[in-house]
Amino acid sequence: MPGASTQTDWLAKAREVLDIETRGLVAVRDRLDDSFVRALGIMAGCSGRVVITGLGKSGLVGRKIAATLSSTGTPSFFLHPVEGAHGDLGMIRHEDVIVAISNSGETDELNNILPSLKSLAGHVISLTGGAHSTMARLSDVVIDTSVPCEACPHGLAPTASTTATLAVGDALAVCLIEWKSFALDDFRRFHPGGALGQRLTRKVEELMRSSQLPVVPSGASLGQALEVLNAGRLGCVCVLDAGGHLLGLLTDGDVRRLVCANRLILDDVIDSVMTASPLHATCGQKAAEVLDIMESRAITVLPVVAPDQTLAGMVHMHDVLGQGRVKFSRS
């Protein structure tokens, strides 16, 4: 711990953060008014999809809100505002409802597309701490999510504000559950967790591929590695030492980058271009944890190593989800 801080000091700091975020939630709760009810009515009456949009941390919050809405009976998806400006607005229909998220309400990338969104969809609802912001003026309904202060000591990192916005999203979702009489049986239909849920609790070694793996020894040429990569059909090749320990990884993306940089030399030693000490899964990890790693890093394949760091296998996202070589058993 830096300085003379003690365990008691750090616990006090942690509690202070939670106190600040609690005060933010209370402030937003006490400020809720008919705007919330109007937004709720618009979303309940939506015959299309609720389209959530936001940038940065607001975008991350928006993705979670969209997921919660979709899983509780309100069809929803997340639209990245930059992608929207470059063609994805074509997904919007007049029966959709837009929910825009920005703490300041002055996010240029979002405000630039709001007029187009408003012309394409039925309504624009904003969740913002800037009740008099540009985004608020462009919206049909504004839910004020401003908080007294952020928990960040510099007042810069979104902390209390994102917590409050996420909570408002949960409040909308839960109220919509009751408004639409979304029942337990409906929830089960939206969460077919019998097969996938059971699969995700299994250990990764139960799902991984352990034979005919695309591997080359340390010291092999790039040309040899490309032959193995092409034959392996997993989009990557593992580099191992003489003891079978994982040293590195070469992916299709790495090869493309070498080609674009005019650095693809087949006689080069693979060790000079591989990604050393690559991201990997470990035997004993739950499939759900491995899937989280893949989704957060936007990758589809992971090497799996044993406790001694020798390569035990490789797992593809489809293996985890039951869409690839490994299929669900039929009962």
Tell me the pLDDT tens digit for each residue of 29-68: 999 999 999 999 999 999 889 999 999 999 999 999 998 9
Maximum distance among all alpha carbons in the chain?
70
Domains 12-182 and 201-321 share a fold: no
Q: 216 pLDDT band (50/70/90 cuts)?
A: very high
Q: Choose among 62, 43, 38: nearest CA to 52.
A: 62
pLDDT at 170: 95
159 sits in which H/E element = none
Mean pLDDT, residues 306-312: 95
In 59-190, at which residue ranges do the beta strands (DSSP E only) sit? 76-79, 97-102, 123-128, 141-144
pLDDT at 327: 36
pLDDT at 153: 84
Tell me the pLDDT tens digit for each residue of 218-273: 999 999 999 999 988 888 999 999 999 999 999 998 999 999 999 999 999 999 99
Tell me the pLDDT tens digit for each residue of 73-107: 888 999 999 988 888 888 898 999 999 999 999 99
Tell me the pLDDT tens digit for each residue of 134-159: 999 999 999 999 999 999 888 778 89
Whole-number Å distance between alpha carbons of 248 and 230: 17
pLDDT of residue 187 exceeding 90, the answer is: no
**Number of other CB atoms surrounding residue 37 within 10 Å:** 12
DSSP summary character for residue 330: P
Which residues have CB under 8 Å from 306's CB, separation 6+? 282, 283, 312
pLDDT of residue 328 exceeding 70, the answer is: no
Q: What percent of the chain has pLDDT over 70?
A: 90
CB 24 within 8 A of CB 72: no
Domain 201-321 CATH assignment equals 3.10.580.10: yes
Q: 173 pLDDT band (50/70/90 cuts)?
A: very high
Q: 329 pLDDT band (50/70/90 cuts)?
A: very low
pLDDT at 331: 29
Q: What percent of the chain has pLDDT over 90?
A: 66
Distance from CA of residue 63 to its chain's centroid? Answer: 7
Q: Tell whether 80 is in a known binding site.
A: yes
CATH match for 12-182 among 3.40.50.10490, 3.60.10.10, 3.30.365.10, 3.40.50.300: 3.40.50.10490
Could you give the angle at the alpha carbon of 292 between the alpha carbons of 237 and 289, nearest 5°?
90
pLDDT at 210: 92
Handedness of CA 216, 221, 225, 228 (dihedral sign): negative
Q: 326 pLDDT band (50/70/90 cuts)?
A: very low
pLDDT of residue 162 exceeding 90, the answer is: yes
Letter string b/e over residues 177-207, b meaning 16 or more CB atoms within 10 A of that residue's CB: bebeebeeeeeeeeeeeeebeebbeebbbeb
pLDDT higher at 41 or 187: 41
pLDDT at 196: 55
DSSP summary character for residue 141: E
φ and ψ at residue 212, rounded to 5 degrees: 50, 45
Domain extent listing, the chain: 12-182, 201-321
DSSP summary character for residue 270: G
**Number of other CB atoms surrounding residue 84 within 10 Å:** 22
Look up the pTM and report it.
0.57
CB 120 within 8 A of CB 89: yes
CB 43 within 8 A of CB 74: yes
Rg (CA), the chain: 25
Mean pLDDT (the chain) is 88
pLDDT at 323: 54
pLDDT at 325: 44
